[in-house]
Structure 1
Amino acid sequence: MLPSGPDDTAPRCKVDLFCLVSQIATGGLSMLIAFSVANFRAIREEQRMLFTRAGGGHRSRLDLDAPTPGGVTPVLALYGANASGKSTVLEALYWMRHMVRDSARWEAGSSVPIQPFHFDEPDDERPMSFEVQIRLGDSEYRYGFEALADRFTAEWLYQTPLDATRKVERRLFERRTSEDGVTTVDATSYLKGRKSAIIDATRADSLFLSRAAQENFAALLPVYAWFRSRLGPGIAGADNQPLRIRQTRELVEGSEAGRRAVERLLLAADLGIRGIAEADDPAHEVPEGFVQMITSADVFSGEAQARDFVENNRRPRLLHQVDGRPPVPFAWDDESAGTQELFALAGPVVEALAAGSVLAVDEIESSMHPLLVRAVVELFQSVESNPYGAQLLFSTHDTTLLGDFAGLGYVLDRDQIWFVEKSRHGQIELIPLTDYKPRGSSDLERQYLQGRYGAVPLLSTSLFEGRER
């Protein structure tokens, strides 16, 4: 858990960050239980990732309270060699989110933006498919779809009430679209409300769930809302750092609680930072002339898009202090890469904890010290700092997280560790560590680096000797 900063004057409670997060909390309990994907980029056969605890006599290595009930884990880590497909697995989850959120808004007749398995023949007609299993309140839902370039060929939603005496999965709807573009939706009586107009308006190239949400169809809004707001704003990786910086900056500027939560993370990291410059600092204002200039350069379609570009690229100024002297604001480019990454990650972390949402982070250790990475992971592992059951899904090469962290204690349990392998045929495979049945006393870090579990690079010695074999 992150410690308090030395000069912090925020109200005290058992876990200080929780005090601040609870002031901006936005959500009740929701959990991602499982995710499946097939025929997406380097994933050909269906791969399934489970967030359920191992059970079956499994004894936890962690002395932490689980913030997610029902045997669901709050943390899942992906290990694998470079180019093994870790990023692809994370991107698949957000690709599904994009389809659900936006397909009903696409122009009629648009092609579905599929990205099938790289090495299949162009005329291969296997659909790309996605499915999630989620818990929302007193029910579990299983929702998925299949897609080809010209249509969504299938879509389904099932519900399992958890408060019933017998837990039986019931079908809410199934959708099919034929080769000639005719869409049929079989909605059962369990799906309450007037549906016929929405069914008639569902195009071959849009999802029924998306269309129903556009029409404010109450029975399906909870599932749609999970994709909109509980499945984070996007992958927290290097490629979208500007968007994450904006997210953190808007959190800081939006409320005092948000500012203090971000500042506490920065204070705890021992970076010499004592605050964030005020939002109305002249350095933060968008130059009107610059907006007009880039609008007229034909790069953007209008002033709103140009202004959004400028807003995405505004950078904060962090206040540094030494020897009790007055704080000094540093230019963003003067900050270290680790400081920049922590600031960019702070907003998504705080908002995920406050909303109880899923946050996916690609290469979580990027430019950050292992102790700092450990602290971020522990925020999700503790019920005190994660009272709403937020979940952290991340890829990493940081093997220190596999062991007892030099005697400081375990960070990850065995059922929270998954490996990503790519076969010689270029296909990604997801393998849980529990498949190998390691002992509780196993030195997982050493065994992983020795190649016991695969998911490591196979290096050729000829590369280093300067000759071919």
Structure 2
Amino acid sequence: MLCQFSFQNFKSYKDETTFDFRAMAIPEFQDALIRQEKAEDLLPVSAVYGPNGGGKTNLLQAFFCLINLVVKPIHALEKNRQPMIFQQGSSVAPFMLDESSANEPTIFQVFFRVGEKEYQYYISLKEEIVFESLLWRTLGGKKTGLIFERDGQKIELGASINKASINLDVNPKMPYLSFLAINYNIPVIAEVQNWFESCITQSYANPRAENIVLVSKSETTKESLIHALNDVGIDLSGYRYDEDSKHLFTQRTINGKVYELPFEAESDGTKKMIAALPVLMVALQEGRTVVVDELDAKLHPKLLRYVIQMFKNPELNKKGAQLLFSSHDLTTMKNTVFRRDEIWFAAMNDNHESEIYSLYEFRQEDNTRVKSTAAFDKQYLEGRYGADPYLSNMLTGRDWA
């Protein structure tokens, strides 16, 4: 489970930026929170809003980049421990709009939980790895243990993996975490590796993404998918994947007869749901973290709301799966859908640097927080939250001539 993600000097983000999945002490949707003994409650869902060019995609790509840094070399050498599902890559790219950032390292840091442990992974890099560390602690514990620390090419091993057989000489461009995962069978490293590999990162800004369908041979999974599609008004009775032609066909039963259509003949929204739902269902079944750019693209608002509610339903989400996505859909930006700490905004400041903040953190003109009963979508359109000034200008009738 993802607790917190921080990064610095990445694309449109210059200063340290932190996205937090830890739940604030507010009363909304308490039953939907991910709870674990001796640990802070976590959010099951978060959405990022903001204008085009404000930094929504770059925020998610920072996470894509971190996952890709660790997993790509493992996957390239076929040393992954589990099948990976749709890991969208992104390259390291520093902030370019000042005189110093281009020559400074990009930094990523992530806190996540696996079982009864919380891990902290940190990596700083330019062309080569500048610094890297992996720490752990038991949930509720105050003492932090070192697994390894790397300062340039100098590597220190913690007590749990400190063995003479472990090589301290590694390619300066490869994360030491990846190196250990590839070359050794160390339980604590395997646990961390499994978490990185379990993350699902996807961008529907790429049109090809919605044409990639995860087809399960399990009849139970197939029935669950059809049931979910029927729930949102997509009247399919089944599907068939033809191994010879490598084509997917959707099925509808009319007056007792089954008719088939090629997947390509379906509407964009139906194709999107058929592509997205199997992945989201795997995440819910296995407790994975899902980060999706433009999840709402080509989706009817009721379909997006259905997806959100899947993750917020403790009967469906029993293993702590989490969903983070960017969106322009304001019909779901409501207090009947989200807590205030589940809504985030990304926007440019006057120095052309992206910044993020949650609706809960936002302070109004009288220095009070936005109320849980507020009309979030209406106030956002009025420009009260600061993330969409051009909409505010349009609504106030500003003359652009």
Q: TM-score, normalised by structure 1?
A: 0.74
1:420 paired residue among 315, 338, 346:
346
Report the alpha carbon displacement of residue 122 of structure 1 after superposing the two structures with TM: 8.4
Match of 1:214 in 2: 182
C-alpha RMSD of the superposition: 2.6
Equivalent AA in structure 2 for residue 215 of structure 1: N
Which string of whole-angstrom CA distances, capped at 9 and with x for unpartnered residues, describes residues 113-140 of structure 1? 5311132448832101111000111111
2:147 matches 1:188: no
Match of 2:356 in 1: 430
If asked which structure has higher relative contact order (CA below 8 Å, sep 6+), I would say 1
Structure 2, unaligned runs of 5 or more: 78-89, 363-368
Match of 1:360 in 2: 291
CA contact (8 A) 1:106 1:206 kept: no
Equivalent AA in structure 2 for residue 185 of structure 1: I
2:113 matches 1:135: yes
Inter-partner Cα distance in structure 1 for 2:7 and 2:32: 31
CA contact (8 A) 2:34 2:41 kept: no
Match of 1:227 in 2: 196
Match of 1:145 in 2: 123
Given the superposition, is the C-alpha separation of residues 421 and 315 from structure 1 closer, same or farther in structure 2, using an over 3 Å criterion?
farther
Q: How does 1:108-123 map to 2 (within 5 A)?
A: 114-121=92-99
Equivalent AA in structure 2 for residue 269 of structure 1: V
Match of 1:46 in 2: 16
2:148 paired residue among 146, 153, 173:
173
Given the superposition, is the C-alpha separation of residues 209 and 268 from structure 1 closer, same or farther in structure 2, using an over 3 Å criterion?
same
Report the alpha carbon displacement of residue 269 of structure 1 after superposing the two structures with TM: 1.8
CA contact (8 A) 2:9 2:101 kept: no
Given the superposition, is the C-alpha separation of residues 368 and 106 from structure 1 closer, same or farther in structure 2, using an over 3 Å criterion?
closer
Which string of whole-angstrom CA distances, capped at 9 and with x for unpartnered residues, describes residues 1-46 of structure 1? xxxxxxxxxxxxxxxxxxxxxxxxxxxxxx1000011111111111
Match of 1:285 in 2: 244
Inter-partner Cα distance in structure 1 for 2:161 and 2:333: 47
Equivalent AA in structure 1 for residue 58 of structure 2: T
Inter-partner Cα distance in structure 2 for 1:350 and 1:223: 23
Q: Helix, strand or coil for the counterpart of 1:37?
A: strand
2:249 matches 1:333: no
Inter-partner Cα distance in structure 2 for 1:348 and 1:272: 20
CA contact (8 A) 1:38 1:130 kept: yes
2:201 matches 1:270: no
Given the superposition, is the C-alpha separation of residues 378 and 68 from structure 1 closer, same or farther in structure 2, using an over 3 Å criterion?
farther
* Greater than 6 Å deviation, 4+ residue runs: 104-107
Inter-partner Cα distance in structure 1 for 2:302 and 2:353: 34
Given the superposition, is the C-alpha separation of residues 247 and 334 from structure 1 closer, same or farther in structure 2, using an over 3 Å criterion?
closer
Report the alpha carbon displacement of residue 375 of structure 1 after superposing the two structures with TM: 1.1
Inter-partner Cα distance in structure 2 for 1:122 and 1:412: 39
2:171 matches 1:203: yes
CA contact (8 A) 1:352 1:390 kept: yes
Given the superposition, is the C-alpha separation of residues 43 and 103 from structure 1 closer, same or farther in structure 2, using an over 3 Å criterion?
farther
Inter-partner Cα distance in structure 1 for 2:303 and 2:257: 27
Which string of whole-angstrom CA distances, capped at 9 and with x for unpartnered residues, describes residues 398-441 of structure 1? 2122225xxxxx11111111111112432110111111221122
Q: Helix, strand or coil for the counterpart of 1:373?
A: helix
Work out the percentage of aligned pairs sharing the same amino acid.
27
2:135 paired residue among 148, 151, 158:
158
State how many pairs are aligned: 376
CA contact (8 A) 1:32 1:133 kept: yes
2:375 matches 1:443: yes
Inter-partner Cα distance in structure 2 for 1:460 and 1:185: 53
Equivalent AA in structure 2 for residue 154 of structure 1: F
Match of 1:261 in 2: 224
2:306 matches 1:380: no
CA contact (8 A) 2:214 2:279 kept: yes
Structure 1, unaligned runs of 5 or more: 1-30, 178-182, 287-313, 405-409
The structure with more strand, counted as a fraction of residues: 2
CA contact (8 A) 1:379 1:386 kept: yes
Inter-partner Cα distance in structure 1 for 2:117 and 2:302: 38
**Is the radius of gyration larger for structure 1 or structure 2?**
1
Inter-partner Cα distance in structure 2 for 1:340 and 1:142: 38
Inter-partner Cα distance in structure 1 for 2:58 and 2:23: 24
